[in-house]
């Protein structure tokens, strides 16, 4: 099957552009035909085989090559879909929103430019993975910790730019970003913050520089190609004490979240802790068929059996304490006392957990910044399938938590899936992330998932809950829920887009932002 | 596990996450030479290994389901030009 073309381009014009790309990056770094097959969404939701299919890919090795590529893309009106490493699998992988785009694959730009132990930061290129940066730090014996998301193969920069979260006190990844280098659609290179001053030595130390703070414009956006980024790293603490607190009933989520807010705002809870559901934790190390052979979601009796077998709860609160024992002892006492009144609560440290593999042993690694791939175990729950994340944000209140849980778990179970969710604790908000594992080989199941997802988006929006991040298939859908004052924010995004990228070549459709040239054709 | 890997052709027990097996030896070996790897594992192990190997090797693979939760798979890997400088 011929590779699809983007709107407005014919084969001749695209071939001409690819030839020019080859002259810039070298023959072997332009991928077309079969060689472009890896730039796909492994967990596609659409039943149209051409949906979100790339035409080709190009992999530059330097900022200068990115500059040259965007100049050619402007001449030929070729849409470039930028990926750092293309490993964002729950949200579309390396696949573009706009069918026929050329993927701008930055994974060859994988230099760790600096790791500064004195101040605790790294300056990296987009292709640097958490595995890479962790190894660099370990090999040199630096007293620094990463904050990692669940998949360790992801890009440090890409995850931060997509507002990804981790699990240490540095869990807000974009919050820990400091200083960027960006190639604009014109080909011009900009350094943000203090990096704009020649000879300045605080580019990775002070975010704001002078004048408007623009770094946020380049996150979840298509206003430029970020080619370098600073990220703050945590100093290795003098002590680390991970813990697991389990709760036996679904309705416990309400008082648990009330306690969590108080602990978080008082800085007793130091890290981006998570409250994880039974099936999400069970699915990491066991399969549904070990417990249940019926159709649809597991019944309550099976849930009780899993809880007993795996010593986990209906909700499992994984957190950690960081600091010298004199401090962590006090923080632990306050944490334990806060939850002690909930009937059936159980408290564990790693030494209390005898089963292997075990959820706390696994999460202990993650909460100290060790990159892994263990979380992909949940794909095995139904024998191996695709997954998509539904991720609305709410305040840290018990009322919101149980309302969201009932809304989402009700719809998910109604559609025949098990509820696999977690609530990640931010500074003032909860990210309620539900993964839906589905049979990706079954077109009817994909259609069912698509209907379910759109329904949940509508229902969440009607209650004022917005998603913080989404799959490429739903970017327009989510953008449309941020509609206050007749979509004023989206219209402002479009104005910026048209000013910075008048030919609309950079990642058309990212976060629902379409350039003028493709505003109608792209959405179709 | 390291001792097991010293004997090519012998099966290696794995549990869940591919990361340890990958870091232990497979990452290096698949960059250096062609390799035939087979396994009977859950889907996630196969998927993750496939993604990791694809970063620096051409890959041809086949997988057959041998039960509700298990796949029997083979991968034939050939090192590609190395990314990066």
What tokens appear for A64 in the block? Answer: 């200068």
Pick from A330, A334, A206: which is nearest to A260 by CA?
Answer: A334
Of the candidates A189, A353, A381, A203, which has an alpha carbon nearest to the alpha carbon of residue A281? Answer: A381
The answer to whether residue A91 is catalytic is: yes
Range of the domain at B36: 2-79
Q: What are phi and psi of A349, to 5 degrees?
A: -110, 165
Does residue B51 sit within a domain? Answer: yes
Q: Can you tell me the distance from the alpha carbon of A286 to that of A290, in angstroms, rounded to the nearest whole number? A: 7
- DSSP annotation of A290 reads G
Helix A300-310 to helix A278-285 angle, to the nearest 10 degrees?
Answer: 60
B62 within domain boundaries: yes
Q: Rounded to an integer, what distance in angstroms lies between the CA atom of residue B61 and that of residue B48? A: 13
ipTM score of complex: 0.93
Domains by residue range for chain A, with CATH: 11-105 (3.30.43.10), 112-235 (3.30.465.10), 240-467 (3.40.462.10), 477-518 (1.10.45.10)
Digitized pLDDT (tens) for each residue of chain A, 524 residues in all: 688 999 999 999 999 999 999 999 999 999 998 888 889 888 888 889 899 999 999 999 999 999 999 999 999 999 999 999 999 998 999 999 999 999 999 999 999 999 999 999 999 999 999 999 999 999 999 999 999 999 999 999 999 999 999 999 999 999 999 999 999 999 999 999 999 999 999 999 999 999 999 999 999 999 999 999 999 999 999 999 999 999 999 999 999 999 999 999 999 999 998 999 999 999 999 999 999 999 999 999 999 999 999 999 999 999 999 999 999 999 999 999 999 999 999 999 999 999 999 999 999 999 999 999 999 999 999 887 788 999 999 999 999 999 999 999 999 999 999 999 999 999 999 999 999 998 888 899 999 999 999 999 999 999 999 999 999 999 999 999 999 999 999 999 999 999 999 999 999 999 999 999 999 877 65
Is residue A29 within 8 angstroms of chain B, CB to CB? no
Catalytic residue among A91, A130, A134, A405: A91
Decide if A63 touches B, using CB distance below 8 A.
no
How does DSSP classify residue A236? Answer: P
Instruction: Report the gap between the CA of A473 and the closest CA in chain B (Å).
Output: 22
- B17 lies in a domain? yes
Q: Please state, in angstroms and rounded to a whole number, the distance separating the CA atoms of residues A326 and A328.
A: 6
Whether the CB-CB separation of A377 and A233 falls below 8 Å is answered with no
What is the secondary structure of B65-84 as a DSSP string?
E-SSS-EEEEEEEEE-PPP-
From the CA of B35, how many Å to the nearest CA of chain A?
Answer: 20
Q: Is B48 contained in some domain?
A: yes
Task: Provide, as residue numbers in chain B, all residues whose Cβ is less than 8 Å from the Cβ of A380.
Answer: 42-44, 69
> Per-residue pLDDT tens for A104-123?
999 999 999 999 999 999 99
The pTM assigned to this predicted structure is: 0.96
In chain A, which residue's Cα lies nearest the Cα of B84? A108
The number of distinct structural domains making up chain B is 1
Residue B47 lies inside a defined structural domain of this protein: yes
Write down the pLDDT at residue B2.
Answer: 41
The pLDDT tens digits of the residues spanning B22-63 come to: 998 899 999 999 999 999 999 999 999 999 999 889 899 999
Buried b (16+ CB within 10 A) or exposed e, B14-47: eebbbbbbbeebbbebbbeeebeeebebbbbbbb
**A111 touches B: beta carbon within 8 Å:** yes
Bridge partners, residue B76, by sequence: B36, B60
Chain A residues with CB under 8 Å of B52 CB are: 153
Chain B CB within 8 Å of residue A372 CB: yes
- Domain presence at residue B26: yes
**Token digits of residue A213:** 């703070």
Say if residues A7 and A521 touch (Cβ distance below 8 Å): yes
């Amino acid at each position: 099957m011929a590779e699809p073309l983007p709107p407005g381009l014919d084969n001749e014009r695209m071939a001409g552009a690819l030839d020019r790309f080859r002259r810039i990056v070298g023959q072997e770094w332009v991928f077309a035909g079969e060689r472009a097959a890896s730039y796909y969404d492994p967990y596609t939701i659409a039943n149209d085989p051409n949906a979100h299919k790339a035409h080709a890919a190009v992999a530059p090795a330097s900022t200068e090559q990115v500059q040259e590529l965007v100049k050619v893309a402007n001449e030929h009106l070729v849409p470039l879909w930028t990926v750092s490493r293309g490993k964002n699998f729950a949200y579309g992988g390396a696949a573009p929103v706009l069918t026929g785009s050329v993927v701008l694959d930055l994974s060859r730009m994988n230099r760790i430019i600096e790791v500064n132990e004195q101040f605790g930061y790294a300056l990296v290129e987009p292709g640097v993975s958490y595995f890479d940066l962790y190894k660099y730090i370990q090999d040199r014996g630096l007293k620094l910790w990463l904050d990692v998301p669940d998949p360790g193969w992801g890009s440090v920069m890409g995850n931060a730019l997509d507002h990804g979260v981790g699990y240490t006190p540095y869990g807000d990844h974009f919050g820990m970003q400091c200083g960027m280098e960006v190639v604009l659609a014109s080909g011009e290179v900009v350094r943000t913050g203090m990096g704009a001053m020649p000879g300045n030595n605080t580019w990775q130390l002070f975010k704001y520089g002078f004048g408007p703070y623009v770094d946020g414009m380049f996150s979840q956006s298509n206003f430029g190609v970020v080619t370098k980024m600073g990220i703050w790293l945590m100093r290795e603490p003098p002590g680390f004490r991970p813990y697991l607190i389990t709760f036996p009933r679904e309705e416990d989520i309400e008082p648990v979240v009330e306690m969590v807010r108080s602990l978080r705002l008082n800085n007793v809870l130091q890290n981006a802790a998570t409250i994880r559901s039974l099936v999400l934790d069970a699915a990491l190390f066991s399969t549904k068929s070990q417990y249940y052979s019926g159709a649809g979601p597991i019944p309550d009796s099976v849930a009780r059996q899993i809880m007993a077998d795996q010593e986990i709860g209906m909700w499992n609160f994984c957190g950690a304490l960081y600091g010298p024992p004199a401090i962590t002892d006090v923080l632990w006492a306050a944490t334990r006392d806060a939850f002690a009144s909930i009937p059936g609560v159980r408290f564990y440290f790693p030494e209390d957990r005898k089963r292997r593999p075990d959820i706390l042993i696994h999460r202990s690694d993650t909460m100290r910044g060790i990159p892994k791939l263990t979380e992909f175990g949940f794909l095995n729950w139904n024998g191996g399938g695709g997954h998509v994340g539904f991720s609305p944000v709410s305040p840290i209140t018990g009322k919101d938590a149980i309302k969201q849980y009932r809304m989402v778990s009700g719809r998910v179970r109604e559609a025949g899936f098990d509820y696999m969710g977690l609530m990640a604790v931010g500074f003032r908000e909860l990210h309620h992330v539900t993964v839906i594992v589905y049979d990706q080989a079954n077109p009817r199941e994909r259609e069912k998932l698509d209907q379910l997802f759109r329904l949940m988006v509508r229902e969440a929006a009607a209650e004022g809950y917005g998603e913080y991040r989404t799959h490429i298939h739903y970017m327009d859908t989510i953008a449309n829920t941020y509609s206050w004052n007749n979509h004023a924010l989206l219209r402002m995004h479009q104005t910026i887009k048209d000013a910075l990228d008048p030919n609309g070549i950079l990642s058309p459709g990212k976060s629902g932002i379409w350039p003028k040239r493709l505003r109608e054709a792209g959405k179709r | 596990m390291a001792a097991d890997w010293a004997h090519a052709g012998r099966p290696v027990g794995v549990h869940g996450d591919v990361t340890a097996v990958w870091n232990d030896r497979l990452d290096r070996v698949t960059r250096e030479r062609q390799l035939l790897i087979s396994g009977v594992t859950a889907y996630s192990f196969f998927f993750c290994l496939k993604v990791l190997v694809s970063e620096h090797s051409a890959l041809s693979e086949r997988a057959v389901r041998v039960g509700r939760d298990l796949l029997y798979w083979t991968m034939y890997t050939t090192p590609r030009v190395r990314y990066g400088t």
